[in-house]
């Protein structure tokens, strides 16, 4: 992304003014007519990068974070993580079954669900495996391929508690097994805890029905928890007394600790942040003014502070946060920076309203070891070379 | 939109449970693989309706408000209003010239602009002619065709004041002429007033670059003002001491009053609201519980209150507002309603933080007459028939 600084802007206007004004003064024929459903400009190219895999139905694709503005991720660029591909579901045929330890089992159509009182909220969604490469030295070369399994949308749905109340959850019930209608019948055990008061049976995303990759026509949304438990193409909630220890919460999405024990059901995504400009693969045009920007988020509520270091962690400056800062949503941070043209090591550090401060990679590894591929939220370091190129700090 | 009520939900589950469970239990083959840029489900059809016109380059298309969830309008469904079609602009060739009464004329490339400090905010955008048909008895049959020239996006851009400061606006400057790069060279006179502190040189919409229909690669965004003054495909800001009284602020977007005088530069969009469910063209399935929902917005800041009447205005009930309520953005309101199956007349009334209360159509006409096709913000009435069908209250 070639950029010039403010001083050069003035030189530009002096140097190129007349010529460019001439060009800008050329006339133009009438443009395209109205359209029913618009598309982006042919000059705009960002796309989700797909992780190479023998089974493209069971892979992931990442949001181009360094090309994104603000906090809303366009639905077409929301990250994907599928275990058996994207099913083609006719919403008129889809049903949600709520059974198990309930007084009144329910079988709901999409019309039944959409008719119930709903709410819309902006929340981030992050795969439990996002930035997992950071545990080893196998991280991606840029923000997209290292941190792109996180996105943020406005979700619309029916509060889960309202439907569970209709079904009448029995006192001995402590969990529910959420099951997807995809080919692998994704199943996750969901604890019936306080956090679930925010959960939605979500049917809307960024103003439209859910996109197919995000669970059309219905998904479980549990704000702040890892993506995999927010089961897509949701077809059943089986209320139980115990978890089922399904494949995706035992073989996957659990953390093997240094002592050989495994942490399981570590659902909450802790405070995390990443600088998206400058970030891996970009190149600064030369010394001068730039705006450092990036994203921060936490599963524990609001981000209260983001600090940025420009000298490898010796000094930290507080970044400006775009307002309002939303609950369990992406938060956009910004900091003006005059680059002196010398090599620099930059990083961001997020703090949330629980008081939690994002740890360094080393601090995280000291406690959790390096056996896990999940739940990495250490500070992300970018290294800027004197030629303006940007690479991983660990590289 | 067929809907069943909560009681019938329970009957459904009892009556259809086993059979549907059987269906839901059928297996499914692996689904579609990952994709670079996603699309909506083939089962999702809402589109912008285009006003019939001999010149489709100079018309408008409306957002399907009754099909929208939450407050974010998908960029593909943002309303359009073009005076000479949608130009195809190469962002690398585009320039913004800032000249006139300034110390240092500027010629900026898109790279120059994106490099400057930016901010992202969610704001509504509304055509000054939205719901203009309400002045007469020529309004559209549904929410889309009567109120659909309003949408809401997260916009990203550079604060205008920052760039004007770079250029050094002279003391005698009181206006600027914003000019578009479309075929008609759209021009509007913009007063350099306090409201403009919130103005952006916007290059981002809902996380992506602006859509072509919204001014790609650059538009003026003046939150709370009528859409036409927020010039798209922005190519020039000519700073002046006086307005230029251009065609689109004299022949159009001005209000002919009963005394024969014309109100001009009535830029701020006053508090307004519309019930989107139930609304024209929908049909209620029968007596029982429904959630009435709709949208409210104001150019004067935040919506503080939305009231809904179910009996033609005798009694007003306060609706619940999705939180947080944002500054100069769509606000989603909701109210549970148990319909008794009899004919009903429903409407919504918005109040904003300036204390302004949305007037009735009659109150508005009493003051402004019926000569204008612009700036209508009277209360919108829907009539529900005993058979559940919904039509315009005025029809």
CATH of A49-263, one of 3.40.640.10, 2.30.30.760, 3.90.420.10, 3.40.50.720: 3.90.420.10
Residue A368's pLDDT is 95
Mutate to test the interface with A, among B10, B23, B28 (most CBs of A within 10 A): B28
Q: Where residue B56 falls among pLDDT bands split at 50, 70, 90?
A: confident
Token pair of A183 as six digits: 């080919």
Of B21, B82, B204, the CB nearest to A70: B204
Of A27, A115, A204, the CB nearest to B5: A115
Q: Rounded mean pLDDT of A270-277? A: 98
Token pair of A229 as six digits: 């438990």
CA distance A213 to chain B (A): 8
**pLDDT, tens only, B280-289:** 999 999 999 9
**pLDDT, tens only, B297-318:** 999 999 999 999 999 999 999 9
Q: Do A56 and B47 touch (CB under 8 A)?
A: no
Residue A26's pLDDT is 65
Q: Which residue would you say has higher pLDDT here, A344 or B20?
A: A344
Residue A274's pLDDT is 98
Q: Is the peptide bond before A10 cis (omega within 30 degrees of 0)?
A: no
Q: Which residue would you say has higher pLDDT here, A26 or A392?
A: A392
Q: How far is CA B333 from CA A46, B63, B126, in A?
A: 35, 18, 18
As annotated, the residues of chain A forming the CATH 2.60.40.650 domain(s) are: 272-392
Phi (first) and psi of residue B390, to 5 degrees: -125, 130
Of A9, A28, A212, the CB nearest to B41: A212
Q: Rounded mean pLDDT of B79-87? A: 96
Instruction: Spell out which residues of chain A touch residue B30, defining contact as CB-CB under 8 Å.
Output: 55, 57-58, 84-85, 183
Q: Report percent pLDDT > 90 for chain A.
A: 88
Residue B318, class by beta-carbon neighbours within 10 Å (0-12 exposed, 13-18 middle, 19+ buried)?
exposed
Q: Where residue A51 falls among pLDDT bands split at 50, 70, 90?
A: confident
Q: Rounded mean pLDDT of B174-182? A: 98
Residue B276's pLDDT is 98
Counted residue by residue, chain A has a size of 395
Q: How many CB atoms lie within 10 A of CB A168?
A: 15
Instruction: Spell out which residues of chain B touch residue A78, defining contact as CB-CB under 8 Å.
Output: 38
Strands annotated E in A193-233: 200-205, 208-209, 219-221
Mutate to test the interface with A, among B115, B328, B332 (most CBs of A within 10 A): B115
Residue B93's pLDDT is 97
Residues 31-70 of A with CB under 8 A from B: 31-44, 46-48, 50, 55-61, 68-70
Please tell me the distance from the alpha carbon of residue A105 to that of residue A100, in angstroms, as a whole number: 7
Please tell me the distance from the alpha carbon of residue B145 to that of residue B165, in angstroms, as a whole number: 42
Residue A16's pLDDT is 41
CATH number of B272-392: 2.60.40.650
CA distance B264 to chain A (A): 28
**pLDDT, tens only, B354-375:** 999 999 999 999 999 999 899 9
Q: Tell whether the model's pLDDT for residue B295 goes beyond 80.
A: yes
As annotated, the residues of chain A forming the CATH 3.90.420.10 domain(s) are: 49-263
Q: Tell whether the model's pLDDT for residue B11 goes beyond 70.
A: no
CA distance A149 to chain B (A): 13
Rounded to 10°, the helix B6-24/A160-167 angle is: 90
**pLDDT, tens only, A133-182:** 999 988 999 999 999 999 999 999 999 999 999 999 999 999 999 999 99
Q: How many helices, marked H, and strands, marked E, lie in chain A?
A: 6, 24
CA distance B378 to chain A (A): 25
ipTM of the assembly?
A: 0.94
Q: Rounded mean pLDDT of B78-103? A: 97
Lowest-confidence region among A8-22, A331-345, B316-330: A8-22
Q: Do B90 and A30 touch (CB under 8 A)?
A: no
Q: Tell whether the model's pLDDT for residue A17 goes beyond 60.
A: no
Nearest CA in chain B to A59: B34
Q: Where residue B2 falls among pLDDT bands split at 50, 70, 90?
A: very low
Residue A25's pLDDT is 55
Give the list of residues 6+ apart from residue A355 with CB closer than 8 angstroms, or none. none
Q: b or e along B58-92 (b: 16 or more beta carbons within 10 Å of the residue's beta carbon)?
A: bbbbbbbbbbbbbbbbbbbbbbbbbbbbbbebebe
Q: Where residue B26 falls among pLDDT bands split at 50, 70, 90?
A: low
Of A3, A31, A43, the CB nearest to B86: A31
Please tell me if residue B80 touches chain A, with a CB cutoff of 8 Å. yes
Q: How far is CA B213 from CA A32, A39, A41, in A?
A: 9, 9, 9
Of B32, B35, B115, the CB nearest to A3: B115
Q: Rounded mean pLDDT of B192-198? A: 95
Please tell me the distance from the alpha carbon of residue B116 to that of residue B119, in angstroms, as a whole number: 10
Token pair of B201 as six digits: 């040189």
Identify the CA nearest to A238 among candidates A274, A195, A269, A192: A192
Q: Do A71 and B17 touch (CB under 8 A)?
A: no
Nearest CA in chain B to A210: B40
Q: What is the mean pLDDT of chain B?
A: 93
Instruction: Spell out which residues of chain B touch residue A44, defining contact as CB-CB under 8 Å.
Output: 208-209, 216
Instruction: Spell out which residues of chain A touch residue B86, defining contact as CB-CB under 8 Å.
Output: 31-33
Identify the CA nearest to A1 among candidates B159, B92, B217, B203: B92
Of A36, A97, A109, the CB nearest to B21: A97
Q: Tell whether the model's pLDDT for residue B3 goes beyond 50.
A: no
Span between the terminal Cα atoms of chain A, in Å = 22
Residue B57's pLDDT is 85
Residue A20's pLDDT is 45
Lowest-confidence region among A153-167, B50-64, B110-124: B50-64
Please tell me if residue A12 touches chain B, with a CB cutoff of 8 Å. yes
Half-sphere exposure of B55 (CA within 13 A, CB side): 10
Please tell me the distance from the alpha carbon of residue B305 to that of residue B303, in angstroms, as a whole number: 6
Q: What is the mean pLDDT of chain A?
A: 93
Q: Tell whether the model's pLDDT for residue B262 goes beyond 90.
A: yes
Whether B84 and B114 have beta carbons less than 8 Å apart is answered as no
Q: Rounded mean pLDDT of B107-113? A: 97
Nearest CA in chain B to A97: B21
Q: Rounded mean pLDDT of B312-340? A: 98
Q: Do A208 and B2 touch (CB under 8 A)?
A: no
Please tell me if residue A16 touches chain B, with a CB cutoff of 8 Å. yes
Q: Do B37 and A71 touch (CB under 8 A)?
A: no
Tell me if residue A111 falls in helix, strand or coil. helix
Instruction: Spell out which residues of chain A touch residue B16, defining contact as CB-CB under 8 Å.
Output: 107
Q: Where residue B16 falls among pLDDT bands split at 50, 70, 90?
A: very low
Please tell me the distance from the alpha carbon of residue B332 to that of residue A163, in angstroms, as a whole number: 22
Q: Do B29 and A324 touch (CB under 8 A)?
A: no
B181: left (phi over 0), alpha (psi -120 to 50) or beta: alpha
Q: Do B80 and A35 touch (CB under 8 A)?
A: yes
Q: Tell whether the model's pLDDT for residue A18 goes beyond 70.
A: no
Q: Where residue A52 falls among pLDDT bands split at 50, 70, 90?
A: confident
Whether A143 and A65 have beta carbons less than 8 Å apart is answered as yes
The residues that bridge with A275 in the sheet, in sequence order, are A294
| Rg of chain B (C-alpha set) | 23
Residues 245-274 of A with CB under 8 A from B: none
Please tell me the distance from the alpha carbon of residue B191 to that of residue B185, in angstroms, as a whole number: 19
CA pseudo-torsion sign A237, A238, A241, A242: negative
Residue B394's pLDDT is 67
- Looking up tokens 């669970």, which residue turns up? A215
Q: Where residue B4 falls among pLDDT bands split at 50, 70, 90?
A: very low
Of A70, A183, A216, the CB nearest to B156: A70
Q: Rounded mean pLDDT of A225-247? A: 97
Residue B27's pLDDT is 79
């Amino acid at each position: 992304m070639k950029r010039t600084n403010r001083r050069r802007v003035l030189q530009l206007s002096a140097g190129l003014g007349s010529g460019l004004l001439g060009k800008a003064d050329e006339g133009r024929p009438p443009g395209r007519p109205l359209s029913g459903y618009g598309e982006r400009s042919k000059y705009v190219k960002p796309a989700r990068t797909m992780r190479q895999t023998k089974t493209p139905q069971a892979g992931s694709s990442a949001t181009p974070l360094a090309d994104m503005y603000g906090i809303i991720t366009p639905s077409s660029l929301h990250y994907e993580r599928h275990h058996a591909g994207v099913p083609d579901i006719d919403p008129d045929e889809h049903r949600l079954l709520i059974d198990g330890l309930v007084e009144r089992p329910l079988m709901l159509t999409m019309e039944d669900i959409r008719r119930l009182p709903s709410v819309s909220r902006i929340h981030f969604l992050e795969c439990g495996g996002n930035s997992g490469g950071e545990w080893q030295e196998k991280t991606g070369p840029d923000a997209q391929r290292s941190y792109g399994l996180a996105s943020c949308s406005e979700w619309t749905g029916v509060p889960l508690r309202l439907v569970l109340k209709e079904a009448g959850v029995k006192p001995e019930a402590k969990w529910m097994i959420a099951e997807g209608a995809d080919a692998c019948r994704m199943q996750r055990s969901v604890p019936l805890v306080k956090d679930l008061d925010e959960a939605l049976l979500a049917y809307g995303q960024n103003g439209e029905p859910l996109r197919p990759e995000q669970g059309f026509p219905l998904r479980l949304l549990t704000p702040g928890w890892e993506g995999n438990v927010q089961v897509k193409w949701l077809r059943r909630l089986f209320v139980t007394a115990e978890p089922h220890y399904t494949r995706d919460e035992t073989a996957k999405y659990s953390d093997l600790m240094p002592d050989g024990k495994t942490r399981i059901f570590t659902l909450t995504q802790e405070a995390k942040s990443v600088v998206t400009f400058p970030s891996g693969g970009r190149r600064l045009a030369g010394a001068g003014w730039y705006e450092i920007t990036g994203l921060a988020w936490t599963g524990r509520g609001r981000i209260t502070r983001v600090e940025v270091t420009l000298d490898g962690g010796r000094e930290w400056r507080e970044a400006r946060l775009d307002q309002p800062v939303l609950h369990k949503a992406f938060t956009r941070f910004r900091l003006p920076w005059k680059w002196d043209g010398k090599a620099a090591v930059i990083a961001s550090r997020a703090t949330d309203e629980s008081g939690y401060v994002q740890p360094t990679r080393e601090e995280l590894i000291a406690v959790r070891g390096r056996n896990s591929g999940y739940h990495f939220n250490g500070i992300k370091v970018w290294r800027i070379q004197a030629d303006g190129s940007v690479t991983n700090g660990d590289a």
